[in-house]
Amino acid sequence: MSVAGAILAPVDSVRSAILKVASPWVSPLFADRRRRVWWLGVVSVVSAFVVTGLVPLWSLALGPVLLGVPHLVSDVRYLVVRPKLHHKPWLLVLVGAPLLATSLGAGPEVGVLAIVPAVFGAGFSWRLVVVAFVWLALTAAAYLEPFGFQLAFVHAHNLLAVLLWWSLTARAKSMAWVPLLTVGGAVAILAGALDPLVTWSGGWSAPWTGTSFTEFVENITPALDPTLAGRLVLSFCFLQSVHYAVWLRLVPDDARPRPAPRTFAASWDALVADFGLAPLLVFVALSLGLAVWGAVTLPGARLGYLQLAAFHGYLELAIAARWFAFGRAST
Amino acid sequence: MRTLTLAVLLVAGVALADIPPSNSTQCHSAQTGAACTTDDGKPGTCLKQLVSRLDYSEGVPPKTKQVEMLLCVASVTARSTATSSPPFFAAGALMLVMLGLIVTKLVSRGRRSAAA
């Protein structure tokens, strides 16, 4: 048994014992993949809404530090590794170069450039024409109004993950609850639905996080009415939580070859099969390092992570364009 | 996020109501008296100044309060050697290099499995 297997075996034993006791109640919830993904999606969105109302600044500060790296790993795993795009070195280099440049500080017009090589190989069709127009429009917007573009993209890329998840497989109508609740939640937050809960919980201020609403308003909202700007920060917090839930829970559940849930040890083995052990250990070290860094200085760790993660929104955009141009997901 | 916005602001060069106070970004994690560069590129020194900021600590609509914060004040004697967030940039760059190595490893794995 591997070291990871030995570490995860007790956790799996506890999980197995709990499932055995709770089997009569939870079996119907977990056995069927569609049903499981549906309720996990709904619970994730509702939880994100409640957490945003109770502890928004903690969610904004801790979310990227604790879940950031695992969600980036999932991003790369399901958008690049599983579709075996890394078997095409030319694609890896041409898409990877602009993505890497954005993480090193290049402008948004460089990030959207990743769309172009991502659709190489798609036959000429109306889909390719749409992608070309979208790319031109995004590039023009990024050149003419880079600040506004970045702000819009910071918020919109959270929804892009929901769109990618939706495109991953054929969906039953009932699954529409997940995107509907997501959009509905964001609209409700912008309309002020969470203001009383945040005030009740004292969530407008959390000095221990080393950050404040003022800081987020100054950094991730455009020139707006100050009340609407504060709500836009809440909306970002909510959508960021949904974004993490999509990559860490919903997409893995949908993309798993076996419909039933698997043990933690089996999940680790699957990760090793996808990435190899050495890269996986680097990911674990990155996650732990970021958590330790966060314990020392939470704002510093958050900024360090954001520097690293700047590429991933454009990766999602490029792969969304690829899926659309080819007319199917996981191409 | 501040790093992202900083980069954007450098490119954009526009002034919107909700961006951080002028000349504040370089001095955010600096000490009083540290060398800096003003938003318009002049060498300066980080000095405590009173500025007006929105305060959301009691909810919306926010109140306005005067707070003391470090701003980059232009000075003919100060050296313009300060940078805004070198530790964050260095850490990010280091993580990217590690990711690059991982991608290289993945490509070689991909080739091996393709060959097999």
Q: Taking CB atoms and an 8 Å cutoff, what residues of chain B touch A284?
A: none
Please, which residues have CB within 8 angstroms of residue B3's CB and are 6 or more apart in sequence? A303, A306, A307, B84, B85, B88, B89, B92
Hey, are the CB atoms on A303 and B59 less than 8 Å from each other? no
DSSP H helical ranges for chain A? 3-30, 33-54, 56-76, 89-103, 108-112, 115-118, 126-144, 146-167, 177-190, 195-201, 213-220, 226-245, 251-255, 264-275, 277-296, 298-309, 312-326
Instruction: Note the pLDDT of residue A173.
Output: 86
Q: Say if A247 falls within a structural domain.
A: yes
Q: Say if A171 falls within a structural domain.
A: yes
Size of interface A-B (CB pairs under 8 A): 149
Identity of the residue in A231, A286, A310 whose CB atom sits nearest the CB atom of B4 = A310
- For residue A146, the chain B residue with the least C-alpha distance is B12
Which whole-number Å values give the CA distances from A5 to A108, A248, A266, A290, in the listed order?
42, 21, 9, 24
Burial class, A137, CB count within 10 angstroms (exposed 0-12 / middle 13-18 / buried 19+): exposed
Identity of the residue in A204, A223, A279 whose CB atom sits nearest the CB atom of B102 = A279
Mean pLDDT of chain A: 91
**Residue A282 in 3-state DSSP?**
helix
End-to-end CA, chain B: 44
**Reported confidence tier of residue A166, pLDDT bands at 50, 70, 90:** very high
For range A173-199, the mean pLDDT: 95
Domain span including residue A141? 47-262+270-326
Number of domain units in chain A: 1
- Assess contact for A231 and A190: CB atoms under 8 A: yes
Distance CA A289, CA A284 (A): 8
Q: Which residue out of B56, B63, B69, B108 would a mutagenesis test of the A interface target, given it has the greatest number of A Cβ atoms within 10 Å?
A: B56
Instruction: Note the pLDDT of residue B68.
Output: 86
**Reported confidence tier of residue A237, pLDDT bands at 50, 70, 90:** very high
pLDDT tens-place string over residues A248-290: 999 999 888 888 888 889 899 999 999 999 999 999 999 999 9
pLDDT tens-place string over residues A136-151: 999 999 999 988 898 9
Q: Say if A52 falls within a structural domain.
A: yes
Q: Give the residue extent of every domain in chain B.
A: 2-83, 85-116
**Reported confidence tier of residue B8, pLDDT bands at 50, 70, 90:** very low
Hey, are the CB atoms on B102 and A220 less than 8 Å from each other? no
Task: Give the number of residues written for chain B.
Answer: 116
Distance CA A157, CA A112 (A): 12
